[in-house]
Amino acid sequence: DADVICLLVPDDIIPTLPITPGAGSLVIVASGYTLAFDRLKPPGDAGMVAPRMLGPEVRRCYEEGVGFITAVGVQRDVTGTARARTLAVAKAIGGLRQGALELTPMQEAVLDLAVEQALSPMLRRVNESFITVMLEQGIPIEAVLTELFLSGEVERTYRLVRLEGGAAQTLHHSPTSQYGQLSRVGRYDHLDVSATMRELVDDITSGRFADEWDAERDAGYPRLEDLRGKALAPEILAFEEDLRTKLGERAVQR
């Protein structure tokens, strides 16, 4: 009987929920995934309010009154009020304070999944390669990880990108850094990264990934558990914990 139903649970769980929305109800999802790949087909209105950040940060931004950028879209409008009601939900959580992007659920899902599957794995591999090369030069692992993560320099650089723009933030770097970055960027032109990215994005847009993820869920997530076990091995977690205790913000707090 609810007028608005917000499904704030993982994408793979939504199809298993025992809900029967009415024809006049608006179902809101926080990710376009289930609507884009037909895992959710409500009889009434269907909208999307997808904050461009992690869930806990959404609440923190609301409490701080700073807002955040949100992707907003309507998949189905039976009542003629789906767009207005979806925007009302976005406004209520602080999702319009910094502006919103109007995207279809499919556009949002493809963009979100592509960052996770096409961009993030590449960045991980780049970091791993960089660490290996630095270790070959005799640089301690602690120093390499400090340069990449613990110092916060990369994080703050990306903050400048957000606040000032990618081009303008370059002026904050030393002339040596500017010349080195700009003169060497072409050295990677021979790598056909786009080809692999297109293959991964095709897996997404074709629905193959959604089918694979459904099968993984139905099997009880065996591969996910195996992958997590390797990525979160106890020795890795212990090393990272020890390093964060000795260096960075946690060291200051002691």
Is a pLDDT exceeding 90 seen at residue 83? Answer: yes
Average confidence (pLDDT) over 236-250:
83
Q: Which amino acid, one-letter code, is at 45?
A: D
Which residues does 179 contact at the CB level (< 8 Å), separation at least 6? Answer: none
Q: What is the pTM of this model?
A: 0.87
| pLDDT band, residue 105 (cuts 50/70/90) | very high
Q: What is the pLDDT of residues 137-147, one digit of tens each?
A: 999 999 999 88
Q: Which residue ranges make up each domain of the chain? A: 4-104, 107-253
Q: At what angle do helices 208-218 and 193-205 cross, to 10 degrees?
A: 60
**CATH code 3.40.720.10 for 4-104:** no
| pLDDT band, residue 55 (cuts 50/70/90) | confident
